[in-house]
Structure 1
């Protein structure tokens, strides 16, 4: 007989661990984003397992990276279905990774422009000369 007691966590403990509100956790549950039902105590309080916490952390990273809710719901549904749909999961994650990579590239390009422009302003501040700052496109915008 297995005598190991599995550790469970309250909604408050999980909220702290994943840095999200209890309200957001309940939203995730309502929207079908979790991979299994959340157990409840006799008094109706939610009890999460470490697997639940780990899954919520994956979900939050996917949402933070811009995965649409409908895609996250689809991903969770595929995981809940169990083995046999790994190629669908992979395709969903590949498409999301490609979007994230495009966002990273766009942000890197934006950072180049910001660094170029702050360099111009920094030089003018250092020189004590604001001549030419009225032209926002002075010099060439970097590629």
Structure 2
């Protein structure tokens, strides 16, 4: 699902049913579901609304390992697509590549790394929350100027 489609679907679900944007709602929206057969690079790029170049870059950086079919084409299974969904959402939220690389190393390192992964995600969450507050302040300043020039502000 394309990133903008995901955002629109999440916002519509929250607006239509008075359901707050929660972890459960977002999980339901971003879970790719079972993929009947592995997908090629073009299909995954379209599904996630990213370029094939980005997918190859993530592979070169060690963020994802992708199986190859008999013709040596990339073959993305459920596990690879789920990881890519997570990676693209973290990149969208501003997580730096070096942090993603470290996070993936920790995941691949096993269960004993869970506390460090949790610390990383809590820190990232706090950074995202701060950025949201900064954006809200910027929105208020923009609406102030719109009103100053005689325009109307939105809801």
Aligning the two structures, in what range does the TM-score lie when normalised by the shorter sequence? 0.7 to 0.9
Task: Measure the CA separation in 1 of the matches of 2:41 and 2:52.
Answer: 6
Greater Cα radius of gyration, structure 1 or 2: 1
Greater per-residue helix proportion: 2
What RMSD, in angstroms, separates the aligned Cα atoms of the two structures? Answer: 1.5
Structure 1 stretches (4+) deviating beyond 6 angstroms? none
Deviations along 1:9-46, one digit per CA (max 9) or x if unpaired, are 11111111111111110000000112xx3111122111
Deviations along 1:104-143, one digit per CA (max 9) or x if unpaired, are 11111111111111111126x9xxxxxxxxxxxxxxxxxx
The equivalent of 2:38 in structure 1 is: 8
After superposition, residues 44-59 of structure 1 pair within 5 angstroms as 44-59=72-87
Task: Measure the CA separation in 2 of the matches of 1:42 and 1:105.
Answer: 50
State the TM-score, normalized to the length of structure 2. 0.72
State the TM-score, normalized to the length of structure 1. 0.77
Task: Measure the CA separation in 2 of the matches of 1:120 and 1:54.
Answer: 47
Identify unmatched segments of 5+ residues in structure 2. Answer: 1-35
- How many residue pairs are counted as aligned between the two chains? 117
